[in-house]
A = this chain, B = another copy of it.
Amino acid sequence: LPVAVDAVGGDHAPHEIVAGAAEAAENHGIDVVLIGPPQAVGDTRGLELVGCTEVIDMHEEGARAVRRKKAASPVVGAELVRDGRACALVSAGNTGAAVAAALLRMGRIRGVSRPAIATPLPVPGATPTVLLDAGANPECQPQWLVQFAQMGAAYARARFGIAAPRVALLSNGEEATKGTATHRAAYDMLSGGEVGIRFVGNVEGGDLLSDAVDVAVTDGFTGNLVLKGLEGATAFVADAMIDAVSSAPEAQDAAPVLVPTLRALAEALDPETYGGAMLLGVNGVCIIGHGSSSARAIVNAVVVAREMVDAGLVDTLARSIHPNLRQ
């Protein structure tokens, strides 16, 4: 089954999206199908196109757009997965629309209260930290956070081969008394030891880029703000330092070597390196790319989608929240 790629979602759609999809097909031998209105997609570079008639803009209210535009690209893509015509959906378009389309068309894994967006944060020299929820659920109940912890651990295992991922709650201090009432209630459930994960307590915002933890759990409001803050700070500091090096007269001889080294380092720290976020908890593999996704990000997303399908991610997630299904 092919990976379905939303060809008209993203700031650089369709050009970068189609280019990335074509590269994934050519260089990685992955079967890909594009989704979009034929006239909007244009040149498909030889890839199969499943036509649709509507497009959801980046600035539309996602859930509402999905209810109104039943022939929009993420909706049609999620239907392909539901109907067994595609193995996974990749969209770099409107995040709310992709979440709503996957939720309404693929449905939830049995027992999952809410799907969550899981984003790997690069930790140089170590496996990434999986942050969830990165934005699907601005307000969460404690039980949902517990499920995010279970699904996040299963994902870290499937995706990064971490045998017993260390799972923590993001909080405003390490002590169990810190956090909101919701987070403290989740803390109590997680530390009870009956949810099948290795809970290590609270971590703070400064621990995310370190090797202190493998899975960091929070609500989608906080998770989104922290993620965007980290992305912004990383890019900002890297750019400022590269500028300083490339404009220093003393560095004239070294700059041609140093600047590419620093750019490679900045790229390694960019969350895009991992091909986007995964929507965990829906009945299918669904990758949500950054709106600014380049062809490179789309290649990575398609490769990860294929890997997660082959690894049986959906079954693994189902088992993670059902103790009686656990192996």
Contact = CB atoms under 8 A, between A and B. Distances in A.
Interface of A: 59, 61, 124, 135, 138-139, 170-173, 175, 177-181, 183, 204-210, 218, 220-222, 224-234, 236-238, 240-242, 244-245, 248, 250-251, 253-254, 257-258, 261-262, 265-266, 269
- This chain: how many copies in the complex? 2
A40 B250 CA distance: 48
A312 to B, nearest CB: 31
A244 B232 contact: no
Contact of A138 (B179, B206, B231, B269): B179
Contacts of A254: 248, 250-251, 253-254, 258
B179 A221 contact: yes
Nearest to A256: B250
Q: Describe A's contact surface by its main secondary structure.
A: helix
A258 B178 CA distance: 41
Given A138-B180, A225-B225, 13 more contacts: A139-B181, A179-B221, A205-B225, A205-B231, A206-B228, A209-B232, A221-B222, A233-B237, A244-B262, A244-B265, A245-B262, A250-B253, A254-B254
A238 B241 contact: yes
Nearest to A181: B139
A231 B206 contact: yes
Contacts of A242: 241
Contacts of A208: 229, 232
B232 A207 contact: yes
Contacts of A233: 209, 229-230, 233-234, 237
B205 A61 contact: no
Nearest to A242: B241
B257 A248 contact: yes
A61 B175 contact: yes
30 contacts: A59-B175, A138-B178, A139-B181, A172-B225, A172-B228, A180-B221, A204-B228, A205-B226, A205-B230, A206-B228, A206-B232, A208-B232, A209-B232, A210-B232, A218-B225, A221-B222, A225-B225, A226-B229, A230-B230, A233-B233, A233-B234, A237-B241, A237-B266, A238-B241, A241-B241, A250-B253, A251-B251, A251-B257, A253-B253, A254-B254
Contacts of A124: 240
A305 to B, nearest CB: 25
A150 to B, nearest CB: 22
A153 to B, nearest CB: 21
Name the residue in A229, A237, A241 with the highest tally of chain B Cβ atoms < 10 Å from its Cβ: A229
A262 B250 contact: no
Given A172-B220, A172-B225, A226-B205, A269 B240 contact: yes
